[in-house]
Amino acid sequence: MFGPSEKKSQESHEIIKRAFGQRVENPAPYKVVYGYFVKTGILTKKVSNYAIGFSEARKEIIVVPISSDGDEVGDAVILKKDDIVSAKFGMQGDLKIKANTLESDLRFTVPPFTSSMTAGAYIMVIDQKEEESAFRNFIKSTF
């Protein structure tokens, strides 16, 4: 069908968990999901990939920028509940976060799955239906 292969999905899960663990001292309390954002211009397209951890107990989100192969890992952005002004899902399923600690809004999509047919060269292939549902419920019930 159109879903990702189990092998590719497992590799992607390992990449995001490894990247998250590189930037978060104690990753155990967090569930980790994959997210991305595509910004298109007139002649350009920029894809940003993220390992996103969320903790219901701590009421926080940690966003770690990563390359699509996980070789490059950026600095973690920690968003605590008190810092977040709003977190809302758009019509296309993308999440927009406004926070006191951010210079500009943070936007990304946490997909239930992507496949090699739909992902393209810079979006990871992953199946995370359960994780995406847990993330969506966390956002809706916490913010």
Domain membership of residue 74 as a residue range:
6-142
Confidence band of 122 (pLDDT split at 50, 70, 90): confident
Q: By C-alpha distance, which of 112, 124, 127 is closest to 69?
A: 124
Does the reported pTM lie above 0.85? yes
- State the virtual CA torsion across 72, 46, 88, 12 in degrees, nearest 10: -40
Per-residue pLDDT for 1 more than 80? no
1 within some domain: no
Contact between 96 and 87 under an 8 Å Cβ cutoff? The reply is yes
Please tell me the total count of domains within the chain. 1
Residue 119's pLDDT is what? 58
Q: What are phi and psi of 117, to 5 degrees?
A: -75, -35
Q: Pick the residue with more confidence: 66 or 44?
A: 66
CATH number, domain with residue 48? 2.30.29
| Least confident span in 37-41, 62-66, 116-120, 127-131 | 116-120
DSSP three-state, residue 59: coil
- Residue 139 CA to chain centroid, in angstroms? 13
